[in-house]
Every structure is written in C-alpha cells, then in structure tokens.
Amino acid sequence: MNIRNQLICAWSIPLFMVMLGVGFGGLAGFIPPTPPSDNAQEVADFYRDHTQLIRTGVVLTMLGGALLVPWVSVLAHQLSRVEGRPAVFARTQMLAGAMIALIIVIPCMLWSAAAYRAERDPELVLLLSDVGWFFFILALSCPVVQMSAIALAILLSPENPVFPRWVGYANAWFAILLMPGALCTYFKDGVFAWNGLLGWWLTILTFFAFWTVNGIMLFKAIRQEQATTAQTDSAPAAAAAPATA
C-alpha cells in the first residue's frame, strides 16, 4: 500500500479549507452571504461593486472544491479497512463526497455569471445569485448521505484500530446539524434564512467541524496502516533470522 500517495490525497482537505476561506470568504466576500431579503438592485450593486474580487474568489473556490475528490477517495479506502468487503458504505461516502465538489463548483459558476455582466437587468443578476445560494445551502442531501455513510461504516462494524467509535457518533451528529439548513427555502430573514444563525452559521460551522475531525482522523488512520504494514513486513524477516543463523 502506497502510504505516500494516501498522504498526498489527505493533505487536499486542509488545502481545500484554506482556498475556501481565502477565495469564498476573503476575496468574494460571501461570508456572511448576501442577505436573501435584499432586492434586485441591492444584489446587482454588490456584484457590480465587487466584480473582480468575486470573479477571483469563485475561481479559487472552484479549484479548491475539486480537492474534495482525492480526499474522499483515500477516506473511502480507510473506511473499507473498517467495513470490509464489499464496503458499500465506504463507496457511498466516496460517491456522495465527490458530488459535493459539484455542489461547490456549480454555484461558483452561477455567481461568476452574475458578475460577468454586471450591467445586465438586476432581476437576472438576482436570479443567478439566488440559484447559486440555493445550490450552496439547500443541496444538503449529498453531505448528509456522506456523513451518514461514514457513521454507519464505523458504528455497524466491530471495534477497530482505524477509526474510534466516537468518530462515527460525531458524523451522525454532523448529519443532524445540517438539517435546519433545508428550511432556508421558506425564509428570507431570521435564523433559518441562508444568512441566518441556523441556516448559515450552524451549517458552515458543521462543515468546518466535519472536515477538521475527519481530516485529522484520516491522517491518524493512514499512519496506523503504515505501522501495521511495517509490523507485518518485519515479522517474516524476524522469524527467518534464527533459521539463517
């Protein structure tokens, strides 16, 4: 097993989080999001006044979003060590996680289109912006499936040295905590709106905790596999040494 390749893929998640913070929050200015209560002219003015920063920010965010693909791939491998074959939960996690990359890329393309022709009808800019935010906040089914698959892979398997059971419980809670974000389609202001306490802040903090916890534990799982492999390789050599003497 190539530990080096796994570590390269595992490092994609901290790099992704940095690119998301710099591009999405720092440059594009989408943290916090534009209020859904803003009218068309207010939204159009935001895109017109920050055109270059939004363009650069969403491009950086899209590039970072693609880094989720190698991360979920190596996470699937480590989960398969827990689950065993055919590792259906590990595969489910990988497919759902790869789809999250699209959930990040597609709204960035919509926001980029909104900024591309800032002189267009404000109602069209508002439409592009709204659709982008609904992709980003409302499309919670894939992350919930990913988190649930990780939880089930760990909790329905026997005790193992790869991931402790608390990681399974943590991922189950992450999936539950994302649920209030689905209510953003009903509200334009308040805690459930896409810029509100539960609609935005709980959602973004849950994702941050999810990537942080699983990112750290993935590094530990890779190192544990490396140690196990080294012990397995050294055992035959140690057994053969007396016979050689």
pLDDT of residue 40: 93
- Residues 6+ positions from 213 with CB-CB distance below 8 Å: 167, 170, 171
Whole-model pTM?
Answer: 0.88
pLDDT of residue 13: 95
The CA R_g of the chain, rounded to the nearest whole Å, is: 22
- The alpha-helical segments, DSSP class H, found in the chain are 3-10, 12-20, 40-49, 51-65, 68-83, 88-116, 122-133, 141-155, 165-177, 202-244
Continuous segment of H or E residues that includes residue 31: none
Q: For residue 8, which amino acid is it?
A: I
Distance, CA of 149 to CA of 151 (rounded, Å)? 5
pLDDT of residue 245: 43
- Residues 6+ positions from 146 with CB-CB distance below 8 Å: 72, 92, 93, 96, 97, 100
Q: From first to last of its 245 residues, what are the pLDDT tens digits of the chain?
A: 588 999 999 999 999 999 999 999 999 999 989 899 999 999 999 999 999 999 999 999 999 999 999 999 999 999 999 888 888 999 999 999 999 999 999 999 999 999 998 788 999 999 999 999 998 888 888 999 999 999 999 999 887 888 999 999 999 999 999 999 899 999 999 999 989 999 899 999 999 999 999 999 999 999 988 887 776 656 555 555 555 54
